[in-house]
Amino acid sequence: MTDLAGFVAKLPKAELHLHIEGTLEPELAFAIAERNGLALPYPSVDELRAAYRFSNLQEFLDVYYACAGVLIESRDFYDLTWAYLERAHADNVRHAEIFFDAQTHTARGIEFAAVIEGICGALDDGRDKLGLTSRLILCFLRHLDEADALETLAAAMPYRDRIVGVGLDSGERGNPPRKFEKVFRRAREAGFVPVAHAGEEGPAAYVREALDVLDVVRIDHGNNALDDPDLVTELARRGIPLTVCPLSNLKLCVVEDLASHPLKRMLELGLFVTVNSDDPAYFGGYVNDNYVAVAEALGLGEGDIVKLARNSFDASLLDEVDKARLFGELAVAVTSLERSDDGSNP
Ligand code: HPA
Ligand code: ZN
């Protein structure tokens, strides 16, 4: 028997729910702060890491936005993104769809151009040097007003060829999807693919609104959709992907423990689920750690894990040709694992 971690590691996969600012490891945060002559609100790497104890989404966001404050120059965004791509490559991630929070940076006087050029420089190198493809999704911060999101969309227009989608993140409670109806309509008209965080801390009604008002093609998290059976039926019937993040849910107390995580129930209900890391530097694990932890806690079998990896490609924004190539790579990996299991491929 291949061990669970070894099995997960060998499967090619996509990651579809990943905030680039959430990949800022404390060591890199301190290194970038130092070269920019800035101080973090924590005296050391260890003390910063020790602050990663959250009892809800907002407590996390407070630390996450504070740390993002060290990112100033284009090369800071390059280094951040490159560090993630190397980690993802080590986890056999073949394709990543990456959120960035432009407003977190432009609000501090950083040019949109510096952010996007740094990130895209690393994404291009990821493609050329690691064979890892990617797509970039501009997230609007839902705690800010829609006018701010509209300005951000306008700032993104010159980079239309580099940004494939728009998303919605930050504090969910009290910030329903309908608050962003107009900016999402404009973004869709401009050809951006719409996705949104919904049902992480917010109710099933926010998932419904994201579908009906924002016209999203994918839901990020979606846990609380399970409270509404009609909504579950619709999500399953329409094949709307959910980008689920088990270790994030644990760290932000969306679930009490991983044994009560809804992922297995979601699979049983026929929902189109994928596994992702969200903000891995803060939540104690990259994507493979998420697969292993949730599979162990819920007793998922190898078949379930392969299905999750397959879903990750299928739910991506890649075209059908690229998807077919990646399905093929996954099938080859599975065959090779089966052979090594029966002893014919030591
Ligand atoms: N939820 C909402 N907003 C976020 C998150 C999250 O998990 N991570 C970064 N911004
Ligand atoms: Zn997220």
Total residues found in the chain within this entry:
346
Query: Which residue's alpha carbon is at the smallest distance from atom 3 of ligand 1?
Result: 170
Tally of domains in the chain: 1
Inside any domain, residue 166: yes
What was the pLDDT predicted at 107? 98
148: pLDDT strictly greater than 70: yes
200 classed as catalytic: yes
When the pLDDT of each residue in the chain is averaged and rounded to a whole number, the result is 97
Separation of alpha carbons 61 and 55, rounded Å: 11
292-331: pLDDT as tens digits: 999 999 999 999 999 999 999 999 999 999 999 999 999 9
197-245: pLDDT as tens digits: 999 999 999 999 999 999 999 999 999 999 999 999 999 999 999 999 9
Determine which one of 21, 97, 200, 209 is catalytic. Answer: 200
Atom of ligand 1 nearest to the CA of 248: 7
346: pLDDT strictly greater than 60: no
35: pLDDT strictly greater than 80: yes
Q: Which of 200, 253, 277, 290 to mutate to test the pocket of ligand 1 (most atoms within 8 A of CB)?
A: 200
> DSSP of 232-288, one letter per residue?
HHHHHHHT-EEEE-HHHHHHTTSSSSGGG-THHHHHHTT-EEEE--BSHHHHT--HH
What was the pLDDT predicted at 344? 58
Token code pair at residue 36: 């920019």
92-140: pLDDT as tens digits: 999 999 999 999 999 999 999 999 999 999 999 999 999 999 999 999 9
The CATH number of whichever domain residue 66 belongs to comes to 3.20.20.140
Separation of alpha carbons 240 and 216, rounded Å: 9
Residue type, 14: A
Inside any domain, residue 264: yes
Give CA 53 to chain center in angstroms: 20
* Cβ count near 157 (within 10 Å): 9
Inside any domain, residue 131: yes
Any bridge partners for residue 241, and if so which? 272
243-287: pLDDT as tens digits: 999 999 999 999 999 999 999 999 999 999 999 999 999 999 999
Inside any domain, residue 345: no
Q: CA of 249: how far to CAs of 57, 59, 121, 268, in Å?
A: 9, 13, 31, 19
213 C-alpha vs ligand 2 centroid, how far in Å? 20
Separation of alpha carbons 311 and 323, rounded Å: 10
The conformational region for residue 228 under phi > 0 = left, psi -120 to 50 = alpha, else beta, is beta
Separation of alpha carbons 62 and 149, rounded Å: 20
Atom of ligand 1 nearest to the CA of 169: 3
Residue type, 128: D
Inside any domain, residue 315: yes
60 C-alpha vs ligand 1 centroid, how far in Å? 8
Confidence of residue 2 (pLDDT cuts 50, 70, 90): low
Proximal ligand: closest to the CA of 63? 1
Inside any domain, residue 343: no
Confidence of residue 343 (pLDDT cuts 50, 70, 90): low
Can you give the pTM of this predicted structure? Answer: 0.97
Token code pair at residue 14: 């996509």
344 C-alpha vs ligand 1 centroid, how far in Å? 45
Inside any domain, residue 346: no
Atom of ligand 1 nearest to the CA of 245: 7
Report residues whose beta carbon is within 6 angstroms of any ligand 1 atom: 19, 22, 57, 64, 169-170, 197, 200, 248, 278-279
In this prediction, residues 43-56 reach a mean pLDDT of: 96
Instruction: Report the percent of the chain where pLDDT is more than 70.
Output: 98
Q: Which of 279, 282, 290 to mutate to test the pocket of ligand 1 (most atoms within 8 A of CB)?
A: 279
Inside any domain, residue 98: yes
Confidence of residue 341 (pLDDT cuts 50, 70, 90): confident
What was the pLDDT predicted at 340? 86
**Which backbone phi and psi does 305 adopt, to 5 degrees?**
-65, -40
1: pLDDT strictly greater than 60: no
Q: Which three-class secondary structure string do you get for 126-167?
A: HHHHHCCEEEEEEEEECCCCHHHHHHHHHHHHHHCCCCCEEE
What was the pLDDT predicted at 185? 99
Domain that holds residue 97: 4-338
